[in-house]
Structure 1
Amino acid sequence: MKKFKIVAIVLCAVLMTGILAGCMYESEETQYTDQLKDQISDMYGYPNVSNFFEYSQLKEIYEMRDNPNLVCYWYTKNDMSGKWIYQGTCVGYGIPYSASITAPESVQKYSKHYDWQILPLAEPNGLYTDGLSTSATWILTTDANGNISPTYVESEITISQVKMDARLFEDWSIPNNY
């Protein structure tokens, strides 16, 4: 029964993909890529994934990250020594600066003749984030009183639910109560 459901879902996805693809213009590159994918599929088939373990791991991580009371510890890397610097506590794991709430682009019809184009979409603040390239992270840092404030961090960071081993740190950065 489980296999039947999976086959039914895959079949529906394939049919919907075919219907949607037929509605849009396909370039020569797209057609060539599809031919290559078909050839690879004919030669080797698809992986026989039955446990979906990686999926279940990612699902568990998403669910753990969804906790608004998740207190973590954050650290930056000392470029000179390679050791970590303890920065304090934060709420959650941080958000990459390049993350956005909306999709960066949208396919939209622009004429009566069903001509399509890809247009950028603005974020709710009116800014366009498409093409951002940065390793910066937003972190909701906490102070000794439990006050939360957003902090923009560009240096290499690590955030963990458990404290890292003190021997990995610059001695001066570790508080007495660590």
Structure 2
Amino acid sequence: MKNNIVLMLLVLLVLGCGDKRPTLVPIQGKLTLDGVPLPFKHIKFLPENVTPGVGGGGVSDKDGNYSLLAIRPGSIKDEIGVPPGTYRVIIVEPLFDPEAVAIPTNPESGPAPAVGISLPKKTNPKASIPANYGVAETTTLKVEVPDNGGTIDLNLQAPLR
């Protein structure tokens, strides 16, 4: 009898521990401002209303291309994509100049610098992103992530002068 109870508790424990995380779909695209690629910008997708999960983020490359990784609290590995749904998108400048953080890729140029040592000072580059895109409450950029993922180009508009 005791063994049956233990066995039943183990079965219930295993059945109750299913993966409750939402399904992720891959998203990539190009970030531009008035048609000009925006390199090295931080992109964050913040879920709206009933969209599951806590969103995703990525960084545009030198040509403005990006792909998203899921934000999953407690996860120990990067996961590609975000759950389908509606998102507010914010775009922010990097804290450090990407050109100043270059690490040598040629082994003959010496060892790579130790992490945390001799970091470049924070820069205050001239902002290339209109301010309203950098704050969740003021961003006008909203996107719909389809059930199968895909390409979502982010085309920012500079304010009229």
Does the pair score TM above 0.5?
A: no
When normalised by structure 1's length, the TM-score is 0.20
Structure with larger RCO (C-alpha < 8 A, sep 6+): 2
**Which structure would you say has the larger Rg?**
1
Higher helix content, 1 or 2: 1
